[in-house]
Amino acid sequence: MKEKVLTGNKNGMTMLLVCILQYLLGVAVLVFGITRMVRAEAAGGPWGMAVFFLILGILWIILGWIPFLGLRVLGPQEALVVTLFGKYTGTLRDAGFYYVHPFSTSVNPAAKTKLRQSGDVDGGEQHKGLSMVLTGGAQLDAAQFASKKISLKVMTLNNARQKINDVLGNPVEIGIAVMWRVADTAKAVFNVDNYKEYLSLQCDSALRDIVRLYPYDVSQGVDTTGDGVADDGSLRGSSVVVAQRIKDQIQEKVEEAGLEIINARITYLAYAPEIAAAMLQRQQAAAVVDARKLIVDGAVGMVEMALERLNETQIVNLDEERKAAMVSNHLVVLCGNSEAQPIVNAGSLY
């Protein structure tokens, strides 16, 4: 199904005036018929023409509201898919006052669907208030008043967080926000049953497919690109790349539904609660090991520099035993967690 935009129907104001004049003409015919009937009764003449105009005026008033059904008003960034007796006739896309066939119907299967996205957050309360006013307090289904218009604005879908196992089998919780809009109204309405629910399901599916390819943090020997070579990709360190892959896969899945994915971003990422404490301990241990390694490397460098300076200046001549003692003392002082306690040695090592 390909979208067909109706461009020659923006004559709503003209048709509104015509319908009003037509209705007024029907009232005039009814009044004229009543007047003829009164005159005919007073004159005792024939009632044929009077009855004809009276019936014509009554039928005109009873059926005169039907042409008003063809009036359609669209705001900016709104569209309306129009069908006539089950056949797709076209889509109204530009803002304006339109007139279509009075028996045309508007189609939007997702009009009653409320997701966690922009435009659907407070819509239910508004419809509920409208239904209470129209029914004098009686409770009606708010979805009955859902508009059949299709929004062409960029909307943000924020699905619920999902618990997914990464490539190493660690459960992580992740959430994404997807910015999307309707690009082809005919595909969105006729190719899928409900394009909002379809988009939400495809977002969840794409998120699971991509997250399973990455570790939460950088791990050795993991190939995240599929080229057979281990790399440094991870959910935490390559969030932009992961989000782009999620966007591309969602776009591929919703192309048939006439939707365009503008952007996708990771909004929440953390280990699952059942392993969060253990992973935190592992990260802390790795940080301590890295810090100790850096301290040892620095201490060895400082001892090496001290021995080289002593040899250059020839202040003292150290044999191998004294060098070993000096290295030991320096390493203890530089690598220890507490301040060193100096000891003054007035004697000899021998």
What does the domain layout of the chain look like in residue ranges? 1-107, 112-146, 154-271, 277-335
Rounded to a whole number, what is the distance in angstroms from the first to the last CA of the chain? 99
pLDDT of residue 219: 80
CA distance 209 to 126: 37
Global confidence as pTM: 0.70
- For residue 339, the model assigns a pLDDT of 67
- Cβ atoms 119, 155 nearer than 8 A: yes
What is the pLDDT at residue 222?
A: 84
pLDDT value of residue 127: 40
In tens digits, the chain (350 residues) has pLDDT values of: 788 998 888 888 898 999 889 888 888 888 888 887 777 766 666 667 777 778 888 888 888 888 889 999 999 999 999 999 989 999 999 889 999 999 999 999 988 888 766 666 544 444 443 333 333 333 334 444 457 899 999 999 988 888 998 888 888 999 999 999 999 999 999 999 999 999 999 999 999 999 999 988 888 778 888 777 888 888 888 889 999 999 999 999 999 999 999 999 999 988 888 776 766 776 777 777 777 788 778 878 887 787 777 777 777 677 777 777 777 776 777 676 666 666 666 655 55
Distance CA 1, CA 222 (A): 43
> What are the start-end ranges of the H helices in the chain?
12-43, 48-63, 123-134, 185-190, 195-211, 239-254, 273-313, 320-335
In 3-state terms, what secondary structure has residue 188? Answer: helix
CA dihedral of residues 40, 46, 47, 50 (deg, nearest 10): -70
Q: Given the DSSP bridges, would you call strands 162-165 and 171-182 parallel, antiparallel or unpaired? A: antiparallel
Q: Any idea which residue has 């009164």 for tokens?
A: 38
Second CATH level (architecture) for the domain 154-271 = 2-Layer Sandwich (3.30)
Residue 350: per-residue pLDDT: 53
Question: Which residues touch 334 (CB under 8 Å, ≥6 apart)?
Answer: 295, 298, 299, 302, 303
- Say what the pLDDT of residue 145 is: 42
Q: Write down the pLDDT at residue 338.
A: 64
The upper half-sphere exposure of residue 149, i.e. CA atoms within 13 Å in the direction of its Cβ, equals 18
- pLDDT in the model for residue 200: 92
In contact, 310 and 316? CB cutoff 8 Å: yes
Is the Cβ–Cβ distance between 32 and 54 less than 8 Å? no
Q: Count CA within 13 A, CB hemisphere, residue 308.
A: 6
pLDDT number for residue 133: 33
Let me know: does 101 contact 9? Beta carbons within 8 Å: no
Which residues make beta-bridge pairs with 264? 178
Q: What is the rounded distance in angstroms from the CA atom of residue 32 to the CA atom of residue 61?
A: 14
Note whether 132 and 145 are within 8 A (CB): no
